[in-house]
């Protein structure tokens, strides 16, 4: 399999907790050592770790509690997305 080199360039990701894809372990889960560590975990993290190794990039994850909506009334009547979708649509992040 061919490898590609992204020269350790950073990729910015945004998501919210969506088990089992992206898990933010609770204090109780950390105490019971349910996961290997108390860092973020899940399919998304495993996928990004594997891709980062294969393509030589780094990544960081920003967590937002809102998937995002386009308000129909109020100050955001212009159709501006909020939350995770807003982060991607407004080009603040590379990946969701």
Structure confidence by residue, pLDDT tens digits, 43-95: 999 999 999 999 999 999 999 998 888 765 555 556 678 888 888 888 888 87
Burial 58-80 (b: 16+ CB within 10 A, else e): ebebeebeeebeeeeeeeeeeee
Distance, in Å, from the CA atom of 27 to the CA atom of 38, rounded to the nearest integer, reads: 8
The domain locations on the chain are 9-89
pLDDT for residue 24 is more than 90: yes
Position 22 confidence tier, pLDDT thresholds 50, 70, 90: very high
Structure confidence by residue, pLDDT tens digits, 2-19: 668 999 999 999 999 999
Query: Where does 9-89 sit in CATH, by number?
Result: 3.40.190.10
Average pLDDT over residues 11-36: 92
């Amino acid at each position: 399999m061919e490898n590609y080199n992204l020269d350790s360039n950073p990729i910015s990701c945004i998501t919210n907790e969506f088990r089992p894809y992206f898990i933010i372990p609770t204090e109780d889960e950390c105490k019971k050592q349910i996961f290997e560590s108390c860092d973020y975990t899940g399919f998304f993290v495993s996928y990004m770790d594997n891709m980062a190794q294969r393509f030589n990039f780094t990544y960081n994850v920003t967590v937002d509690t809102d998937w995002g909506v386009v308000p129909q009334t109020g100050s955001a009547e212009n159709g501006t997305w909020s939350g995770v979708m807003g982060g991607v649509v407004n080009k603040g992040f590379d990946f969701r």
